[in-house]
């Protein structure tokens, strides 16, 4: 009757709260050990082991063995994108996980989405880039313009031509769950976030497992100069 690779299989994997906690923990882009993931999900190591095996079989995560540890990471940035999309739907339906803590505003302002910038500032950045014609967006596809390449080289010392990747687009629109608008993903999005970190404009929050990105005072000023809301 209906054959084919079920998307229900994949969705069911995400549908379990314990596994879901593991996956969201991995949305930081960092690889975590089985034990850490077990603690993150609030379950015993045995149960976690079973879940991790299923997630791996489903192609959502990939293990990397290191000594007696097994590090797990999301198998693909696309996985993070889909998870972020699900968060958008969940947020709209009003299904927030717990009471909105004090970290919530910071999370909405700037956070890591796997390896690129998300939140208010992330959306602002893509908006500004479109206004400045650094990128062209037609439907879902985003393309870096010639002017955009120059901008990246001059302002951020990023060689756009070096960003091509066999399996990953340079530019990609990623739906932001808190803003419900797109921010920039892809290798360019990742490279820009890397540069912000290198320049000490921004830094990942020290707390383990946190997705919050803190901008320094100087970093915020420089960021606004390039991607300010007004221009």
Partner DNA sequence: TTCATAGTTCGATGATAGCCGAAGCATCGA
Partner DNA sequence: TCGATGCTTCGGCTATCATCGAACTATGAA
CA pair distance 198, 194, nearest whole angstrom: 6
144-203 positions binding its own copies, by CB under 8 A = 175, 177, 180
Contact 176, 88 (CB under 8 A): yes
Choose the one of its own copies, DNA, none that binds residue 70, judging by a C-beta under 5 to 8 angstroms depending on kind.
DNA
Applying CB under 7 A, among 49, 132, 145, 214 the residue interacting with DNA is: 49
CA dist 198 → 43, 134, 204 (Å) = 37, 22, 11
Q: Is 78 in the site for its own copies (CB under 8 A)?
A: yes
Place of tokens 């970093």: 219
Which tokens in the block code for residue 24?
């969201």
Q: Is 43 in the site for DNA (CB under 7 A)?
A: yes
Choose the one of DNA, its own copies, none that binds residue 123, judging by a C-beta under 5 to 8 angstroms depending on kind.
none
DSSP at 212: B
Helix (H, G, I), strand (E, B) or coil at 136: strand
Applying CB under 7 A, among 6, 11, 47, 153 the residue interacting with DNA is: 47
The region that residue 114 occupies, defined by phi over 0 for left and psi between -120 and 50 for alpha, beta otherwise, is left
Contact 46, 52 (CB under 8 A): no
Stretch that binds its own copies, among 53-61, 123-131, 141-149, 198-206 (CB under 8 A): 53-61
Where do contacts with its own copies occur on this chain (CB under 8 A)?
1-17, 19-21, 23-24, 42, 58-60, 76, 78-79, 81-83, 85-98, 100-101, 103-104, 107, 175, 177, 180
In the complex, which residues of this chain contact DNA (CB under 7 A)?
Answer: 12, 16-18, 33-36, 43-54, 63, 67-70, 112, 114, 208-209, 211
């Amino acid at each position: 009757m209906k054959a084919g690779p079920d998307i229900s299989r994949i969705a069911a994997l995400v549908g379990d709260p314990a596994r879901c906690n593991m996956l969201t923990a991995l949305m930081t882009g960092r690889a975590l050990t089985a034990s850490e993931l077990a603690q993150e999900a609030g379950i015993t190591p045995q149960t976690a082991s079973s879940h991790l095996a299923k997630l791996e079989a489903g192609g959502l995560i990939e293990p990397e063995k290191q000594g007696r540890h097994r590090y797990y990471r999301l198998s693909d940035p696309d996985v993070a994108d889909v998870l972020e999309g699900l968060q958008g739907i969940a947020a709209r339906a009003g299904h927030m996980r717990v009471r909105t803590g004090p970290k919530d505003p910071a999370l909405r302002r700037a956070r890591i989405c796997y390896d690129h910038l998300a939140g208010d500032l992330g959306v602002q950045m893509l908006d500004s880039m479109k206004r400045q014609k650094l990128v062209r967006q037609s439907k879902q596809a985003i393309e870096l313009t010639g002017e955009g390449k120059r901008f990246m080289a001059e302002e951020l010392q990023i060689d756009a031509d070096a960003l091509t990747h066999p399996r990953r687009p340079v530019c990609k629109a990623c739906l932001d769950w808190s803003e419900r608008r797109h921010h920039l993903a892809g290798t360019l999005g990742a490279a820009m976030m890397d540069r912000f970190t290198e320049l000490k404009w921004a830094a990942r929050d020290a707390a383990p497992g946190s997705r919050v990105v803190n901008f320094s005072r100087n970093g915020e000023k420089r960021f606004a100069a390039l991607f300010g809301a007004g221009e």
